[in-house]
Structures are given as structure tokens and as C-alpha cells.
Chain A
């Protein structure tokens, strides 16, 4: 089982004269190969018996040079393979051509190496038949997605083959992908053959068979079964993202369900309205008001202070202090509520609001009172009115949750869009792209 990369085997070959042109034709594996191609006139010759009947003569002008020299050996997946045949195939609908190299090892049988748009795959025939559901094929637990269906024909051949090859030979084909694998079907009147292709980096092929740089083609686009680092990253990142989102949301739900969310103090504060047309509060003209002492429960938590003003095309300004009666620790706040509305050119409009809320975090529990300075303006008349003041203890907060959500989503979203771009490129050659609603 010896044989190092790129070496030519020292081995007996059978040679006969081409029945068409007389040139010597060599058959490396006469017991196995059923047909061989004369490399001078490209006639395909039946090698199953020594009549060497010409199966087919070659009329086309165009010849294709194999990138890997026939007869060379290379190691792939720890096994040595000898390149014995070369086929160029063509999709009948699009005339797109790709290359297939027949590999042989007397212990392990046959494999194919395909070169499609500069992308390489190692192909193994399988006996297992897949199961189908709509556009998917399944072998065991592996699900492959339909990528291509069409007819292909043999365009050019060189070397030797385990069947009687013929240029022009047509088959129905279907490819189902699951990168880095592809499941392919070939069907003619006599049989339906399934195979699995595995993507191989061009460099691996080049090194295995000692192919010179000039013979390698630059891969174009994303191959149907080319593994995408972006998609692999997305599968992982997306999973962790999902887990984080779930945990974060669970914590938030827990947080919401355990908060006190209780009104500790509420009051209607009286004040006199002003007909001032000024729109700016003046603390010197403000009315002062102090509340009685009330209790705030819990050790450390937030408070939400709501102010509702009886404003109607007017404004109400409040400067407030929440003072701890024991320690004199003071939390100050400042708000203006204003509400204007009217009808201009037959269209009604409104602006502002009558209620505002302030959340203050980390307020220790204890005895507290409010000091308020109230100013206002724009009222229609000078009269006695009240504003509503409320203090709610320990309300559910969403800011932390939303910031965390944003923060942990930036990377996954970037990864997702990069993965999607690769997948869209991969499927751009397919009639069955999941990224197109119809085609």
C-alpha cells in the first residue's frame, strides 16, 4: 500500500495499438478497466477483450488538458490514489462544464475528484438510498437540501474507466447539499447511482498530486458544499445568543415578579395658578411646600416619583427634594409638565403632557419627607389648584435589561449577516435557493 505523493508507479502496463489511429494505448488496470481512451485520436476503445473495438471516435476539435496528470498518485484521507481517468462533463441547460478525475486504489476501489469552478471535492459512491421529504434528502440523521437538478453529458474523456464510457452519454443529475458534504444522484436508463462528495481545499489537492500552480484554477464564488466559517460561527454564536437571551429574559421576568411596586406616599399639593405669560420658571417666585414624614420600605431600592399637573395651555414647574428625616440625605429632582393644544387652520394639535415621572435609584429605606418649590404660568385665571404627587417604591426597571440585550446582540447580529451573505452567495447558482421567494 506504499506510494508517496505525486510519484509515478513502477508497474506493468498493458499496451495495444489504437484500432483507429495505430498509436500505442496503455491500460494500467486491464482487469478492472473496461474502456480506455487513445490519447492521440481520443477514440474510446473497449478493453474487455483483445479485439480492442472502437466504441466511439472523437470528432470535436476542442481538447481539455487535465490539471492532474493521469497516472500520478497522491494521498488523500490517508489513502493513496492513482488518477486513471479524466472526464469533462457539461450541464446541458447552461453548458457549464466541470472536471472529474477517476481515482483508483486496488484495495479501496474507486473515488472521484471533481473540480467545479476551481472548487474540489472527493466523491465516494454509496449504496445507501436516501429518504425524501419535499426538497430534502435524508441519509441516517443527515439532511441534505436540494441544490441542483438537471441533465449532464460527457463532453470529453481521457484515460481508462471501469465502464464503457462514451462522449455524449447523458444522465439525470441531482445535488443535495449539507456543507462540507454533497449528496448526488446520477440516473440513466439502467441505474441510479448515489454518491457523497466532501469538499477539499484546492491546496490539499495541489499538494497531494504535485500539481503546478499554473494548472490550478482560482476558486470562484462559494461552492455548493464549501464549508463556510461564517455559517459555522453563526451556528455557535447564534446558539449562545439564544441561551443568553433566554437567561436574561428569565432574570428580567424574575426581577419584575419580585419587586415591591407599592405606592408609599401620595398627596394633592395645592398652589395658586399664575396668568404670567413667561415660559420660564423663577424659583424666587415659587411657592414652597413641605410634606409630612412618611415611611419608605426596603433597604436599598429605587423610587419612582410621579407628578401630575392640572395644566391646560399652561405649565407647571416643580423643584423637589426627597429628604431622609434621620440622615438628611437628599435626593433632588426638577421637572416641568406642560400641555398645549389648539386648532390651527382647521386642524387640531397638541403638545406636551400633564404627567411626568422620575426614577431615582439606590434610595435607602427609612423616614422621608418632600420639599417642593412650585412655579407655574400661562393659566387663564388666578385660582387655587392642586398637583398630584406620588412616590412608588421598588418598581421594575427595564433599562439594564435593554442595554444588556443590545450589548450581547451586536456581535451575533454581525455574525448572522456575514453568514447570510455567504449563504446567499452559495445559493445564487441554485434554482432552489431558500433566499428567494420564487425563481
Chain B
């Protein structure tokens, strides 16, 4: 696995994401704007995490991976999380008070590109283990095992339901 060269490949030359800094959308009846982005690589691919700001300075992450879009927010209570060694696909993990989530996949990830405004802790080159979880009714969660454990929870949503505006123009589409 050569993450450095994956990074090279991922340079913006091949960018076909429909999002960009300045794209706006709706989530949970609230308007948000994309202000930053992290591009994350793992052994079999990449995904984008778009840093979004809602009115009132709330922030969230719009995850864009293999055509799935999920909006998630930092979850404060991280005390109950299992250790990374015990996590495996199919395992049920309770994230209070939301309920149980099933582990979808576990990936060693590496942040390969960043742009725009980002929170202090998001730095390019950072390595961590990212665990994706899915719950009932489109609920999703991510546990990030790095120097500290971070938990994000949110919902998958259809592209059209976000009613995005100011999307990037894609050649041929």
C-alpha cells in the first residue's frame, strides 16, 4: 500500500466531486454552507469530508463516499466506545442516547488533501482508524481512533433531499 502515491493520483486533476467550498444545502430544515474539505485515502479508495457551517456557528461534516452522502456531527460522549482492537464488521455498538449501530467497515485512513477552513484538529497527513457504522432508518456514525477517540453521528440522505446550490460544474454532466 502506497498512500503517498494514492495522494498524488488524487490530485485535483481527477476531481469529479459535485461539491466545492461555497456549496450550500439543507439538512434537517437548516441551511448549511461548505467551508472546508478533507480528502481521506484508504487502501481501496478515497472519500471526501466536507466541513459545513450552519447558522449559529454549528458545524457538521458532509461525508461523500461512493455516491453515499451523510451529514454528521461531533458526538460529545465518547466514554463508552469499545477499544479499536475489539471492533469488527457486524459488531453492534451502542452510542447513547441514539441507540445501536452496526459496524460496516474498519479502515486505516490517511488525510491526503485539505482546503478551506477546518477545525484545529484536522490536519493533513494525520493517520487514524476510521470505523463506519449504520443504524436504523438511515442513521450513521463514525468512530475515529486517532490520538483520541472521536465519535460523529448523523444521517444518510439522498442527494436531492439536500437541495444543494452552487454545485461545481462537471464537464459532460
Contact = CB atoms under 8 A, between A and B. Distances in A.
A191 interface: yes
Contact of B66 (A11, A14, A110, A192): A110
B125 interface: no
Given A49-B8, A107-B159, A127-B140, 13 more contacts: A2-B173, A29-B16, A31-B17, A48-B6, A49-B2, A49-B6, A50-B5, A107-B167, A108-B159, A128-B134, A163-B44, A163-B45, A191-B89
B14 A30 contact: yes
Interface residues of B, number: 34
Given A34-B45, A107-B18, A192 B90 contact: yes
Which 10 pairs show the lowest CB-CB distances between chains A and B? A109-B67, A31-B14, A11-B172, A49-B5, A9-B172, A30-B14, A127-B134, A110-B67, A106-B16, A107-B18
Contacts of A125: 68
Interface of B: 2, 5-6, 8-10, 14-18, 44-46, 66-68, 89-90, 102, 104-105, 134, 136-138, 140, 156, 159, 167, 170-173
A105 B16 CA distance: 10
Contact of A191 (B17, B105, B138): B105
B31 to A, nearest CB: 20
B170 A106 contact: yes
A29 B13 CA distance: 11
A128 B138 contact: yes
8 contacts: A29-B14, A49-B8, A106-B173, A107-B18, A107-B173, A109-B159, A190-B89, A192-B90
A67 interface: no
Contact of A128 (B5, B15, B136, B172): B136
A204 to B, nearest CB: 21
Contacts of B8: 49-50
A190 B103 CA distance: 11
B9 to A, nearest CB: 5
Given A49-B6, A191-B105, A162 B45 contact: yes
Contacts of A49: 2, 5-6, 8-9
A192 B132 CA distance: 13
A51 interface: yes
B134 A48 contact: no
Given A34-B45, A190-B89, A3 B172 contact: yes
A49 B68 CA distance: 23
A190 B16 contact: no
Given A49-B9, A109-B68, A192 B89 contact: yes
Contact of B10 (A9, A14, A31): A31
A350 B42 CA distance: 93
Contacts of A12: 171
A285 to B, nearest CB: 91
A400 B104 CA distance: 64
A80 B173 CA distance: 9
B56 to A, nearest CB: 29
A14 B140 CA distance: 34
Contacts of B105: 190-191
A1 interface: yes
Nearest to B140: A127
A1 B138 CA distance: 26
Contacts of A110: 66-67
A191 B9 contact: no
A161 to B, nearest CB: 10
Nearest to A188: B89
A151 to B, nearest CB: 19
Contacts of A220: none
B66 to A, nearest CB: 6
Interface in A32-50: 32, 34, 47-50
A380 interface: no
A93 interface: no
A129 interface: yes
